[in-house]
Amino acid sequence: MGVGRFCVQRRRRTGTITIAAASVLGLVATLGGCGLTGGSGEVTLKLVAADYGDSAANSSQKYWDKLVEAYEEEHAGVHVDVTVYSWNDVDAKVKEMVDAGNPPDMAQIGAYADYAAKDLLYEADDLLSIPVQADLVAQLADAGQVNGVQYGIPFASSTRLLFYNKTLFQKAGLNAPTTWQELAADAEALKADGVKYPYALPLGAEEAQAETMQWLLSGGGGYTDAELGTYSIDSTENVATFNWLKNNLVGKGLTGPVTPGRLNRAEAFSAFAAGDVGMLNGHPSLMQMAAKKGVKFGMVPMPGREGPTKVSMGVADWMTAFKQNGHAEQVGDFLDFVYDKENVLDFSREYDLLPVTNSASTVMSGAPQDADLKPFLEQLALSELYPVGRTSWAAVSAGVKKRIGGAVASGGSPSAILGQLQATASRAESAE
């Protein structure tokens, strides 16, 4: 049990000093001793977090440094040591620490179910105050549960919309599509105009599970059966969706020069920002990326068979807290601070992400400065998230990344590939 577990009394705030307020008041905390444990009344919390920035100028390390400075100013005896890693490394780094028997107090990562299954994590009830728990977007909080108990605390969220290049669409005399048939027709017209990627379909290893889920949902299916709670990857609806993709987009040369199974999301986004893509599914960060390159774009809900998709794909990243060091009180108090409305707003605005609290979402929905994120906020209420509460999801996601591109490849069989993925899911479920 960590030093000072019972020495530092958890103090409930009547008014949180947010980053902005701390700046106004001129409060400066000395961080030189951060990471060191002092006397018997001092506790150092270690947090490993992911980097949402795209350069050193907006690294998440800067966000956390400011937040910790403000927190430590009003919490004498509690230090927070934050280490930020790229998304390519952070999950693996945390796993290494856990496997070595030295987990951080907190980890802000992409998954939580495996750690919860091994009884390594605190429940959210052990950490967060009731007002903070109540403020979490219910849909996201529910996705953080394993067997009805919440272990994953949503930290950031996002949804997908169909982005289209307004300049290319105007040149071809097109309107944004609302159905699959219109999307295919638009892609045909864009191809005739010489557009490199009429519809960019990134089914490469980087994020194939996301593009796949968006298309499954638009076809009335998904990874799981909502009523039965079981995997339904090879359902009739899902097979029909991938048959349509193979025959009406990929087979007709409407997805560009790179085979979908080899096209990664980052490459597709870069191509869109370069003006080479007519349409693709994108999340909020693509707005800034495209705007920087001068690309004029529009955004609409993903087209479906008969009209706009009624269910969008939602994604959440997770804050977790490991039990080993025994700092539940201090961790809980720090997380209450992290989830303060102004701090959530600061983070969401810095990285073009959707807030995970109702209070911050309400502000963003009505603030002119956040108008570009409003369509994504509206989709969040209609979204479905990955089945991250299942320890089997890691194996299923890996399988999708490896195999799904073959479903739309020349000579590929959607029913066979989806059947293989269903078998992978069944085996992973049996191993839980």
Residues 249, 330, single domain; the answer is: no
Residue 126 has pLDDT above 90, yes or no: yes
Check residue 206 and give its pLDDT: 87
The answer to whether residues 324 and 117 touch, using CB atoms and an 8 Å cutoff, is no
27-36, 342-351, 361-370: segment of lowest average pLDDT: 27-36
2 in a structural domain? no
Q: What is the mean pLDDT of residues 371-386?
A: 90
Residue 272 has pLDDT above 50, yes or no: yes
Q: Whole-prediction pTM value?
A: 0.82
What percent of the chain has pLDDT above 90?
81
105 in a structural domain? yes
* Nearest to 351, CA basis, from 286, 298, 302, 301: 286
Q: Compute how many other C-beta atoms are within 10 angstroms of the C-beta atom of residue 373.
A: 23
Number of domains in the chain: 2
CA 95 – CA 115 distance, rounded (Å): 9
Tell me the per-residue pLDDT of 41-98, one tens digit each, with 9 for 90 and over: 689 999 999 999 878 888 999 999 999 999 999 999 999 999 999 988 999 999 999 9
Residues 179, 285, single domain; the answer is: yes
Q: What is the CATH number of the domain that holds 241?
A: 3.40.190.10
User: Is residue 348 exposed (0-12), middle (13-18) or buried (19+ Cβ within 10 Å)?
Assistant: buried
10 in a structural domain? no
CA distances from 83 to 35, 68, 260, 413 (A): 10, 12, 35, 45
Query: What is the residue-averaged pLDDT of the chain?
Result: 89
Residues 186, 206, single domain; the answer is: yes
Q: Compute how many other C-beta atoms are within 10 angstroms of the C-beta atom of residue 276.
A: 18
What's the full length of the chain, in residues? 432
Residue 199, classed as helix, strand or coil, is strand
Residues 181, 147, single domain; the answer is: no
Give me the domain span that covers residue 263: 161-301+392-431
311 in a structural domain? no
Tell me the per-residue pLDDT of 159-209, one tens digit each, with 9 for 90 and over: 999 999 999 999 999 999 999 999 999 999 999 999 999 999 999 998 899
Residues 410, 264, single domain; the answer is: yes
CA 266 – CA 364 distance, rounded (Å): 27
Element housing 93 (H / E): helix 90-99
Tell me the per-residue pLDDT of 254-271, one tens digit each, with 9 for 90 and over: 999 999 999 999 999 999
Check residue 289 and give its pLDDT: 92
